[in-house]
């Protein structure tokens, strides 16, 4: 009967961890797995339960912070600012005059047309060669070359 009890605990913990990804059920389930092994060895149920609590508690306090740090990394990118991307440093040509953020134009990069703006004081005229410096969503920040 103890074997079935620990199997149920273990399965519930696996399902809970899959759905929450909180790294709590993982360590409780690890303790249940150890208790399951002890149940197969005919160790008294009271000892199984005590060891389950101890092992779950120790692994939770010792390993959960490490797991949270390595698997739940916060984004260090400020998504409100333009950033470098796969398009950064690619060269192209202006299709429609490119101005500041209030006067965007269009550029062609590798055969595709993109909305573009520039930080330059003067607009970049149609036909001028450009290079991509940064991106924000699907808008490219370009400089003349």
DSSP structure string for 80-104: TS-B--TTTT-EEEEEE-B-STTS-
pLDDT at 79 over 90: no
CA distances from 18 to 14, 69, 71 (A): 6, 18, 14
Tell me what pLDDT residue 78 has: 58
**pTM here?**
0.51
Domain boundaries, the chain: 2-71, 91-144
Q: Give the mean model confidence (pLDDT) for residues 7-30.
A: 93
Q: Give the mean model confidence (pLDDT) for residues 83-89.
A: 86
Q: Which tokens in the block code for residue 86?
A: 């796969």
Q: pLDDT confidence of 96, banded at 50, 70, 90?
A: very high
Tell me what pLDDT residue 22 has: 87
Q: Which CATH class for the 91-144 domain?
A: mainly beta
């Amino acid at each position: 009967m103890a074997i079935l009890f620990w199997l149920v605990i273990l399965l519930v913990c696996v399902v809970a961890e899959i759905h929450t990804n909180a790294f709590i059920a993982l360590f409780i389930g690890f303790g249940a797995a150890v208790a399951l092994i002890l149940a197969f060895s005919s160790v008294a149920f009271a000892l199984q339960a005590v060891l389950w609590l101890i092992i779950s508690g120790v692994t939770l306090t010792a390993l959960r912070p490490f797991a949270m740090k390595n698997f739940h990394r916060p984004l260090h990118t400020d998504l409100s600012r333009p950033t470098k991307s796969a398009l950064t440093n690619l060269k192209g040509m202006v299709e429609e005059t490119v101005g500041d953020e209030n006067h965007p134009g269009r550029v062609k990069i590798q055969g595709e047309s993109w909305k573009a703006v520039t930080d330059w004081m003067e607009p970049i005229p149609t036909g001028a060669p450009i290079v991509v410096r940064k991106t924000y969503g699907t808008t490219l920040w370009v400089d003349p070359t």
